[in-house]
């Protein structure tokens, strides 16, 4: 199984646009992915609480995706067939009521790292339909840096 990493480099959190949105392929490779790690480090100039969630949206984003290039953890891995977007041209996804993960931390130099235990990875997608997982702030808009690690199943 190929693993990919996506970076977050000095980006201001938003409560309306996903920090990163994982979008699966409809079928075949990349139609099911697992999120295995999320790490965020705060760069706020004063004490600022951020509540960042990973969520399966109730309404999908629309329009063209501004996709980030996948970085292969193993250089011989195939090119990723899923997409991780920083924004969508028309509308951003609508967060559902239930969050899969809530990563709360003080962005004034604080760091939060979620690392899935074996068998506890967050799965996005199924065969036959495009699926989404959104990493977005529920509250707070400080600047953060970090990464996520995604594996194509």
DSSP letters spanning the chain: --EEEEEEEEEE--SSS-SEEEE--SSSTTSSEEEEEEEEEE--SS--EEEEEEE--SB--BS-EEEPPPEESSTTSPPP-SEEEEEESSBPPBPPSS-SEEEEEETTT-EEEEEPPTT-PEEE-BTTB--EEEEEEEE---EEEEEEEEEE-
Each residue's pLDDT, cut to its tens digit, for the chain (153 residues) gives: 899 999 999 999 999 999 999 999 999 989 999 999 999 999 999 999 999 999 999 999 999 999 999 999 999 999 999 999 999 999 999 999 999 999 999 999 999 999 999 999 999 998 889 999 999 999 999 999 999 999 998
Q: How far apart (Å, rounded) are the C-alpha atoms in residues 59 and 11?
A: 24
């Amino acid at each position: 199984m190929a693993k990919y990493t996506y970076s977050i480099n000095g980006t201001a959190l938003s409560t309306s646009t996903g920090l990163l949105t994982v979008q699966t392929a409809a079928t075949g490779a990349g139609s099911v992915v697992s999120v295995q790690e999320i790490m965020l480090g705060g760069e706020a100039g004063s004490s600022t609480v951020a509540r960042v969630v990973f969520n399966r949206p109730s309404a999908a984003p629309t329009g063209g995706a501004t996709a980030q290039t996948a970085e292969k953890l193993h250089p011989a891995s195939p090119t990723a067939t899923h997409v991780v977007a920083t924004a969508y041209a028309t509308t951003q996804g609508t967060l559902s009521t239930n969050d899969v993960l809530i990563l709360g931390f003080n962005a004034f130099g604080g760091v939060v790292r979620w690392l899935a235990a074996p068998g506890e990875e967050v799965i996005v997608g199924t065969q036959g339909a495009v699926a989404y997982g959104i990493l977005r702030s529920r509250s707070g808009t400080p600047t953060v840096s970090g990464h996520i690690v995604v594996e194509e199943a």
